[in-house]
């Protein structure tokens, strides 16, 4: 077992969070439950979900697990009606990304939930700590989905210094036990992982996307430079972030001339919206992190959790032996 203080805070057995994988595709509550049942913390994304759908998702999840889980929202955009619905479900943990927590913390705490805040800079982490959040996820630019400009390796020790003893969980570029061991060595208390769980058996995204992750090299997961002209802008308090996706014809075509996307913004938006509606959004923008290069199989989520823990524990036991006098 590999326990750190954040396990006690979140009520989990191993210090691993499954980052929410929201979008027009469905991550599946089976994935969330599999992660939570394996002793880590599964997440429920609410991106592009209505308040009623979120209530149904949480009810379904509660049929699948009695372990802690997080319900996630972002400020890209932030939907107050969905927030009310989330709070009413009284989740064990509420997680927020892509914008400052602002005055949401007291509402979440009053509902009996913990507040886990994802940040992309040291300043954001300090503001979140000041606002009273319980756990900080420090996400580097390697991450799949939306991320900031700083790498995980540079960001995490700075955030640990800035907000300690608040628990910090690195996110972005971590897919195996080496990443988890490295996180602990950097002074963090665990990890939050997205792309590795995208390529899991229970994840509900199309198989062709999972297969692409399995064969992709890290450099195939690129920033979508024209996204600002196509996807919705952050709402008040939102962070400046740019999504990372596997390369596709669509991504390459417009990344080569992002300025031209300004003139074609309406047409691009129409195309993306249509793909979102007909279930092919992953063929245009398969949001994926650089850790794709570390992923060579599609495995059950519980096995991934066990692998992460056993590899990290073995590395931490043996690493000091490689030091020479
Ligand atoms: C397909 C996809 C969808 C995502 N959706 C969300 C989301 O709805 N909310 C959120 O906070 N983060 C979202 N993320 C970010 C992940 O939760 C996680 O923070 C990130 O993937 C971690 O980096 P990694 O991919 O290198 O593991 C998404 C990431 C991916 C790849």
Residues 230 and 301 in one domain: no
Q: Is pLDDT at 21 greater than 90 in this prediction?
A: yes
Flag the least confident range among 80-84, 178-182, 259-263: 259-263
Instruction: State in Å: Cα 213 to ligand 1 middle.
Output: 14
Distance CA 229, CA 297 (A): 34
Ligand 1 pocket residue status of 42, Cβ below 6 Å: no
Contact indicator for 191, 169 with CB cutoff of 8 Å: yes
Q: Is pLDDT at 324 greater than 90 in this prediction?
A: no
Domain assignment of residue 210, yes or no: no
Residues 80 and 180 in one domain: yes
Instruction: State in Å: Cα 291 to ligand 1 middle.
Output: 12
Instruction: Find residue 96's DSSP bridge partners.
Output: 73, 117
Ligand 1 pocket residue status of 172, Cβ below 6 Å: yes
Q: What percent of the chain has pLDDT over 90?
A: 93
Residues 220 and 199 in one domain: no
Residues 227 and 175 in one domain: no
Residues 228 and 315 in one domain: no
Write down the H helix ranges in the chain: 5-10, 29-37, 51-64, 80-88, 104-110, 122-131, 152-163, 177-185, 195-198, 207-215, 249-255, 260-263, 265-278, 281-284, 301-318
17, 18, 21: residue to mutate for ligand 1 pocket, most atoms within 8 A of CB: 21
Residues 162 and 277 in one domain: no
How many domains would you assign to the chain? 2
Domain assignment of residue 96, yes or no: yes
Residues 258 and 119 in one domain: no
Residues 239 and 162 in one domain: no
Q: What is the 3-state secondary structure (H, E, C) of 149-199?
A: CCCHHHHHHHHHHHHCCCCEEEECCCCCHHHHHHHHHCCCCCEEECHHHHC
Domain assignment of residue 246, yes or no: yes
| DSSP tag of 234 | P
Mean pLDDT of the chain: 96
Domain assignment of residue 82, yes or no: yes
What's the chain's length in residues?
325
Give the residue numbers spanning the domain of 253: 215-284
Q: What is the pLDDT of residue 67?
A: 98
As a whole number, mean pLDDT of residues 184-196 equals 98
> pLDDT confidence of 238, banded at 50, 70, 90?
very high
Domain assignment of residue 75, yes or no: yes
Distance CA 155, CA 152 (A): 5
Domain assignment of residue 289, yes or no: no
Q: Which residues contact 259 (CB under 8 A, 6 or more apart)?
A: none
Contact indicator for 285, 245 with CB cutoff of 8 Å: yes
Sheet with 93-97: strands ordered across:
16-18, 191-193, 168-171, 135-139, 114-119, 93-97, 69-74, 42-44
Could you tell me whether strands 69-74 and 42-44 are parallel, antiparallel, or unpaired per DSSP bridges?
parallel
> pLDDT confidence of 258, banded at 50, 70, 90?
confident
Looking at residue 298, which CATH number applies to its domain? 3.20.20.70
Distance CA 291, CA 25 (A): 20
Residues 268 and 233 in one domain: yes
Instruction: State in Å: Cα 91 to ligand 1 middle.
Output: 19
Residues 129 and 165 in one domain: yes
Distance of CA 96 to the CA centre of its chain: 10
Domain assignment of residue 143, yes or no: yes
Ligand 1 pocket residue status of 86, Cβ below 6 Å: no
As a whole number, mean pLDDT of residues 259-283 equals 93
Domain assignment of residue 32, yes or no: yes
Residues 219 and 181 in one domain: no
| DSSP tag of 209 | H
145, 147, 148, 150: residue to mutate for ligand 1 pocket, most atoms within 8 A of CB: 145
Tell me which residue of 156, 201, 177 sits closest to 300, measured CA to CA: 201
Residues 138 and 254 in one domain: no
């Amino acid at each position: 077992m590999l326990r750190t203080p954040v396990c006690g805070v979140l009520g989990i057995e191993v210090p691993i969070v499954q980052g929410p994988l929201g979008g027009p595709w469905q991550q599946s509550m089976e994935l969330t439950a599999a992660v939570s049942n394996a002793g880590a913390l599964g997440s429920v994304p609410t991106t592009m979900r209505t308040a009623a759908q979120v209530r149904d998702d949480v009810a379904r999840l509660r049929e699948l697990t009695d372990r802690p889980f997080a319900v996630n929202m972002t400020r890209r955009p932030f939907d107050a009606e969905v927030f009310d619905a989330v709070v009413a479900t009284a989740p064990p943990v509420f997680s927020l990304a892509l914008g400052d927590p602002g005055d949401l913390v007291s509402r979440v705490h009053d509902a009996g939930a913990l507040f886990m805040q994802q940040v992309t800079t040291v300043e954001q982490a300090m503001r979140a700590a000041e606002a009273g959040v319980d756990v900080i996820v420090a996400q580097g630019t390697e991450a799949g989905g939306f991320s900031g400009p700083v790498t995980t390796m540079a960001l995490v020790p700075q955030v640990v210094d800035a907000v300690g003893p608040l628990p910090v969980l690195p996110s972005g570029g971590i897919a195996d036990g080496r990443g988890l061991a490295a996180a602990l060595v950097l002074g963090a208390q665990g990890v939050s992982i997205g792309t590795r769980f995208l390529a899991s058996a229970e994840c509900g995204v199309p198989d062709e996307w999972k297969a692409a992750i399995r064969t992709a090299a890290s450099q195939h997961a690129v920033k979508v430079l024209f996204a600002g002209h196509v996807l919705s802008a952050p709402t008040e308090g939102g962070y400046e972030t740019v999504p990372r996706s596997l390369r596709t014809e669509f991504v390459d075509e417009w990344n080569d001339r992002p300025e031209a996307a300004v003139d074609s913004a309406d047409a691009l938006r129409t195309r993306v919206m249509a793909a979102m509606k007909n279930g092919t959004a992953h063929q245009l923008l398969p949001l994926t992190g650089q850790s794709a290069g570390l992923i060579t199989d599609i495995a059950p989520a519980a096995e991934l959790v066990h692998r992460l823990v056993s590899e990290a524990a073995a590395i931490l036991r043996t690493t000091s032996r490689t030091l020479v006098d």
